[in-house]
Structure 1
Amino acid sequence: MPRTIRRAVEGGKHAVPECDSLCANAPGVGVSQRVVRADRVRSAWGGALMMRPVLAMVLLVSLPMYGAPDDGMRLPRTLAWSAYPTGTQGYSQAVAIGSVLQREYRTNLRVVPGRNDVSRLATLRAGRVQFSAGGSEAVYAQEALLNFASPLWGPQPLRLAMWSIADSCSFSFAAAADSGIETVADMRGRRLTWVQGAPSLNNGSRTLLAYADLDWDDVEKVEVGGYPASIEAVINNRADVVGGGCNSPPFLRLEASPRGLRFLRMPHDDEEAVARVLDRLPWYIPHLTTEGPTIPDEGLEVFTSPYPMLVSMADASEELVYSVVKALHVHFDRYKDNAPGANGWALERQHFERAFVPYHEGAIRYWREIGAWTDAAQARHEENLERQAVLQEAWVAWQSQVVRDTAPSGEDGWLGALRATWAAWMQGMPSDAETFEQGWLKARRAALEERGMVTIADD
């Protein structure tokens, strides 16, 4: 490429200062990603391109890097999403997908590992990433449950793009083979990991304990600092059982350790046990897993849920979400075998009508475009939108009630109301997080029950 043109592409003095809204808002985007129009190019470079029509055509085609102009796709040069820590199934899948995006669109997928649920979604809410590829924390954030029941969070307007349901499983119990534990009932009195700042993992464990009518009080809780640390705790004989995805790479380390690895059986013919699990987490499904270390050839009866779930905020660019979903679907064959569980992103495993979080309009646009979006999917989507609205209204009403109950009185007018509200927030809001959470959970349950909606076990 001639030096003058190369300097323009790299942001030299002749670069064209034009970028559409998507480019302008994308993290890490520079001049090299800007969409250059022919008339601006001629103006900036005078007659240079007129003398080199062939080179001009090549430049105009190669500069955007957002996808071909006739396919409706516009991918930024840099895309970011949060995921579980390095070495996990979700992180490995993100890396495999990123490799395809780089080859096909020259889009760099920056995977931001988060050690817990809050950190993964905090970066999403703050706009530092455009997507989060996590697990059930997306539902808990929507519902304002567990760590998201604090005044700093509340119900989050998340939107689903797509998900993965792999042949393995999203979350199950794995015990050290030398522990003698083979079923959930055998876990009574034994050591189970509890991950700090990871309510989705811990509630997943509590939910699977319910299969045998157990709870955290029936086991010995071993607190660890993150998901990888939970595997280490079992390897180092600080714990006996850990929860995680059946095909999660860290389990290979446990399998290779002197303690060994065994996944626990959860037979589906015990209807009461299955009902206890689904009462706590209705988006879980009975599942026959066929992938994972030590999983027998005939499979193992467990439970699973979508993981990863690729979510964005409701105000994410429709064009961006559409483009990402389309890229993941069109190039599925290019990454499905390149990471554990990546085959779960297949179209036939999306199950739109079973989602518990509403879809983003950009995703719906693509699924409808290829004929995959059904009336049942739309009905479920609208139910989920209504649920989010009910939760948001309940949250506002609950906080308003706290303000009314604690605000000082005696000053009328809007200024008095403002001062009262400020005083309430600074002094009167429950300083005890548990007190605030319990009050919100009661208000939340009442609002959902009034509308005949499932409350999800939160006791």
Structure 2
Amino acid sequence: MTAFSSWRRVAPVVAVMAGLAAGSVTAQEYQWPRLLVIGTPSTSTGSFASTNGWAPVLQQETGMVVRVVPTGAEPERYNRLTIREDIQISSVSASEMRFQIQGITGYAAMPAKSMRMIWHHNDTPWGFVTGGKSGVEALEDLKNGGLRMAQAASSPAMTEAVTVGIPAYLGMSPEDAQSKIDYVPTSSYGENCKSVVEGKADIAYCSPISSVLSEMEAAPGSIRWLAMPADNPGWDAYLDINPMLVPSEMTVGVSTAKGVPGATSNFVYAVATDTDADFVYNLAKWFDESFDNYAKTHMLAARMSRDLWRGYLDRTPMPVHEGTVRYLKEIGVWTDADDEWNEAAVAKMDAWIAARDAALKEAQEQGVELNFENPEYLAILDKHTKDLEGFRSRL
């Protein structure tokens, strides 16, 4: 167990004494931990860049040593947050968080761990990009066969978006998709996106706010984005596969994406559920009160405002940490209705964790290999989880 995880479960003596005296620990009384490590996606992402924007401000204002650690593979960052405990906060998309809790694809055989949101990171636009000189005109061209789709093996959520979600959006059967779409595995998010300007793939699933997209836009031939109009009937099927997304026009990021219909996937900062409530309370307070001090450090840092966080709370299905709830109640932006849906979200997450724990235990007792590609194990997992309701945006 790391030093931080010990602190995570037991508040510092100073904090405890203040809590006994005043009922909660104020920012003035609070003793920040010596070190805070924040995990983000790879260096080519807006998540990494924007976190690097506000982290030095947090360090200067609190005295903590704040480190930002990029981890390209999503399952590895989840492991570092919940199992290894060598990062304390993770920047993660709500879509990926759903995969982690429900044990979808690459997460199926990993230990199930409860998590909570502590603050909104950004509302990330996503879309499908192709080379500027490619012959691809629309996603529907995939139905004709012969096109290559990049597959980001580093992210189970991104993998399912292209291997299951897009075929569903296009009305293709799994068999048609396998026979007509040539999937090109890539080892990282950056490699996934760059594949379309390097001639390795024809279409890739990317976010226009990522720094790698600026490089791609400046490459010979540039890039183009393939529209997903909100009124396309394929959205119903696509959202069944990607229920955390919201259809929307891309308005930020590289110029080639602006005005093109795509989707929004919210990123949040998440922690393990047992993270010390006083720490989360004071961090939430800092995010809010110091917003003007860090908002201009990166365009995505400006998406961390209280107002945008409040707006996201009206549609997120994921539970919020008790420390953040305490702060939001204190400033009058958390309602009785929020208590109701948050309690339901906590119960839903608890049910998923319990079911997955039971599946792992049964598989171990029966000597079944814990592998997300093992049909025998997946049958056990399905038996324990098939009656549970999945997480889906509250649209």
State the TM-score bracket (shorter-chain normalisation).
Answer: 0.7 to 0.9
- What is the CA–CA distance in structure 2 between the aligned matches of 1:241 and 1:140, rounded to whole Å? 23
SS in 2 for 1:164: strand
Q: TM-score, normalised by structure 2?
A: 0.84
C-alpha offsets along residues 403-423 of structure 1, whole Å, 9 cap, x if unaligned? 6xxxxxxxxxxxxxxxxx4xx
Q: TM-score, normalised by structure 1?
A: 0.73
Matched, 1:252 2:210: no
Q: CA deviation at 1:75?
A: 2.7
Q: CA deviation at 1:236?
A: 1.4
CA contact (8 A) 1:352 1:373 kept: no
C-alpha offsets along residues 262-303 of structure 1, whole Å, 9 cap, x if unaligned? 122111122x22211221222211112211213466x22211
C-alpha offsets along residues 81-111 of structure 1, whole Å, 9 cap, x if unaligned? 1101113100011101102112322333211
CA contact (8 A) 2:116 2:273 kept: yes
SS in 1 for 2:53: helix
Structure 2: stretches of 5+ with no match in the other structure: 16-24
> What letter is aligned with 1:178?
K
> What letter is aligned with 2:53?
A
Correspondent of 1:183 among 126, 129, 138: 138
Matched, 1:163 2:134: no
Change (3 A) 1:394 1:35: closer
- What is the CA–CA distance in structure 1 between the aligned matches of 2:36 and 2:359, rounded to whole Å? 37
Structure 1: stretches of 5+ with no match in the other structure: 1-20, 27-32, 37-67, 404-420
CA contact (8 A) 1:355 1:380 kept: no
- What is the CA–CA distance in structure 2 between the aligned matches of 1:103 and 1:335, rounded to whole Å? 11
CA contact (8 A) 1:322 1:362 kept: yes
2:265 corresponds in structure 1 to: 305
C-alpha offsets along residues 9-61 of structure 1, whole Å, 9 cap, x if unaligned? xxxxxxxxxxxx979738xxxxxx9979xxxxxxxxxxxxxxxxxxxxxxxxx
CA contact (8 A) 1:165 1:344 kept: yes
Q: CA deviation at 1:430?
A: 3.4
> What letter is aligned with 2:369?
P
CA contact (8 A) 1:176 1:240 kept: yes
> What letter is aligned with 1:212?
L
SS in 2 for 1:354: coil
C-alpha offsets along residues 199-254 of structure 1, whole Å, 9 cap, x if unaligned? 02212334345332346524211111111112332221111222122211100111
Count of residues in correspondence between the two structures:
366
CA contact (8 A) 1:149 1:440 kept: no
- What is the CA–CA distance in structure 1 between the aligned matches of 2:168 and 2:300, rounded to whole Å? 26
> What letter is aligned with 1:306?
N
Change (3 A) 1:245 1:436: farther
Higher normalized contact order (CA 8 Å, seq sep 6+, divided by chain length): 2
Q: CA deviation at 1:436?
A: 4.2
CA contact (8 A) 1:325 1:366 kept: yes
1:439 corresponds in structure 2 to: 379
CA RMSD of aligned residues (A): 2.8
C-alpha offsets along residues 336-373 of structure 1, whole Å, 9 cap, x if unaligned? 23224222212222221322221111111111111111
Correspondent of 1:430 among 342, 358, 369: 369
Q: CA deviation at 1:393?
A: 2.9
- What is the CA–CA distance in structure 1 between the aligned matches of 2:70 and 2:359, rounded to whole Å? 34
SS in 2 for 1:132: strand
C-alpha offsets along residues 303-356 of structure 1, whole Å, 9 cap, x if unaligned? 11112x211111111111112222112222222232242222122222213222
- What is the CA–CA distance in structure 2 between the aligned matches of 1:346 and 1:163, rounded to whole Å? 8
2:108 corresponds in structure 1 to: 149
CA contact (8 A) 1:390 1:447 kept: no
2:22 corresponds in structure 1 to: none
CA contact (8 A) 1:159 1:314 kept: yes
- What is the CA–CA distance in structure 1 between the aligned matches of 2:377 and 2:142, rounded to whole Å? 29
- What is the CA–CA distance in structure 2 between the aligned matches of 1:329 and 1:437, rounded to whole Å? 44
Larger Rg: 1
2:40 corresponds in structure 1 to: 83
Matched, 1:198 2:155: yes
